[in-house]
Amino acid sequence: MTEPRNVTPPGEGEEFRARYQQERREEPEWMAWKWANRGKGFPWLGVLLVLVGAALLIQYVVPGVGVGTLVLLAIGLAFLAGWIFGGSFFSMVPGVLLVFLALARLVEEVGLFFPRGQDVPGLTSLALAAGFIVIWLIAYSRGRRWGWPLWAAGIFGLVGVVQASGWIIGIPELGLLWPVLIILAGLALMLVARRR
């Protein structure tokens, strides 16, 4: 059995190791996790702790709001802060989705449009659809032509409308007809794709 051979060009491995060791000596990992495009650190843990603390204070003042909802909102806001201040475009997607999920739960828990604590069918799906539309708008404004957020928004929007069909005035609750129509639409798309 032969020994593994080092195929790294001379000088590159040592330079990387030296830069890595220098960054490790400068600051502890928990102070600034490196999850940013611009090479600068962003204090993820600090932002998350501040937001979770603020969420617990809000829960103390408004006891009807659940801690889980506020922690979900805090995590989403931490992701958004990482995108806005840390330059990590990747963190924008989970940040937007978590914030919209938390907002849907807040609407139910606070009783903003419906009786307090009442489970509103389709609200979570419609909130996710709105979140995906916001993701598409942000990406489009930055010159990125993403199509997947629109597909996800369409799917979650359709599921939300089906779930809320009994609540929305003017849309009849068609029971089993909605799933059958969705299956037929999916089959039609598969047939069209197969013919290409």
**Segments forming the whole domain that contains residue 143:** 30-195
Bridge partner list, 42: 33
Residues in CB range of 108: below 8 A, 6 or more apart: 114, 117, 118, 119, 120, 123
Percent of the chain that is helix, strand, coil (3-state, to 5):
65, 0, 35
The per-residue pLDDT string of the chain (196 residues; one tens digit each, 9 = 90 and over) reads 566 666 656 556 677 667 766 666 555 444 444 444 444 566 777 777 888 888 778 878 877 778 888 888 888 988 898 888 877 778 899 999 999 999 988 888 876 666 665 677 788 889 999 999 999 999 999 888 888 898 889 888 888 877 777 666 666 666 667 677 778 877 887 888 787 7
* In contact, 156 and 129? CB cutoff 8 Å: yes
Residue 157, token pair as written in the block: 């929007």
pTM summary value: 0.65
* In contact, 132 and 160? CB cutoff 8 Å: no
**Within-domain flag for 6:** no
R_g of the chain, CA atoms, integer Å: 23
CA distance 139 to 126: 20
**Within-domain flag for 3:** no
**Within-domain flag for 103:** yes
Residue-level pLDDT at 26? 58
**Within-domain flag for 55:** yes
CA distance 78 to 85: 10
**Within-domain flag for 61:** yes
- Number of structural domains found in the chain: 1
Residue-level pLDDT at 30? 40
**Within-domain flag for 24:** no
Q: Give backbone dihedrals phi and psi of 174, rounded to 5 degrees, phi first.
A: -100, 10
Residues in CB range of 131: below 8 A, 6 or more apart: 96, 97, 99, 100, 101
**Within-domain flag for 8:** no
CA distance 128 to 153: 7
* In contact, 98 and 79? CB cutoff 8 Å: yes
Residue-level pLDDT at 37? 43
**Within-domain flag for 5:** no
Coil/strand/helix, residue 194: helix
